[in-house]
Amino acid sequence: MEQNRLHALDAIRGIALLLGLLLHGSISFWPGLDSVGFPVSDNSKSMTLTYMFYVLHMFRMTVFFLIAGFFAHLSLTRKGYPVFLKDRFKRIAIPMICAWLVSLILMIPVVLWAASKIFGPDSSQILQSAQQAAPAQPLLLQFWFLYYLLWFYGFATLFHSC
């Protein structure tokens, strides 16, 4: 079977990635970041950039999950369950876990530095009390969407034969 690349979907993925740069770059311009202890906050505030962030984020993630679901369906029907799950584990789960570990190792000193800068010598106690007050949940950082994607893949393979 000849496999043609879908260039239009590749272009959409590329545009979505570029919008992600714009989206994440706009965060430092949000009003009110100083009061919640965000370590980087620009002096110029913009509600337009704040609204742009949320609109682009909703659009980007919807497009991401739709394209991922489309390609997952193609892959699942072409390869079958065992090969599909092995491929998803190799291409999504392992890179996600490796990148998550590296990101976590790099972020811990930054968070501790920012907390000490904002809260002073009591920063460790404040962080511990905030951690105890927060509900238990996985610390996914920016990898939440891959975590959910893996769940969707699992459900897709489970319910695909129904």
Of 38, 152, 40, nearest to 93 by C-alpha is 152
Q: Which of 79, 101, 134 is the last residue of a domain?
A: 79
104 with 62, same domain: the answer is: no
Sign of CA dihedral 119, 122, 128, 133: negative
What is the pLDDT, as a whole number, of residue 162?
65
What is the pLDDT, as a whole number, of residue 83?
94
Domain count, the chain: 2
Per-residue pLDDT of the chain (162 residues; tens, 9 = 90+): 456 778 899 889 889 889 989 998 999 999 988 777 677 788 899 999 999 999 999 889 899 899 988 988 888 888 998 999 999 999 999 999 999 999 999 988 988 888 888 888 888 888 888 888 877 777 888 899 899 999 999 988 888 766
138 with 66, same domain: the answer is: no
Residue 13: give the domain boundaries. Answer: 1-79
What is the pLDDT, as a whole number, of residue 1?
45
Q: Count CB-CB contacts under 10 A for residue 76.
A: 19
CA 27, CA 41: separation in Å to the nearest integer? Answer: 8
Q: Which of 79, 111, 141 is the last residue of a domain?
A: 79
Q: Which of 39, 61, 79 is the last residue of a domain?
A: 79
48 with 123, same domain: the answer is: no
70 with 89, same domain: the answer is: no
What is the pLDDT, as a whole number, of residue 19?
93
According to DSSP, residue 4 is labeled -
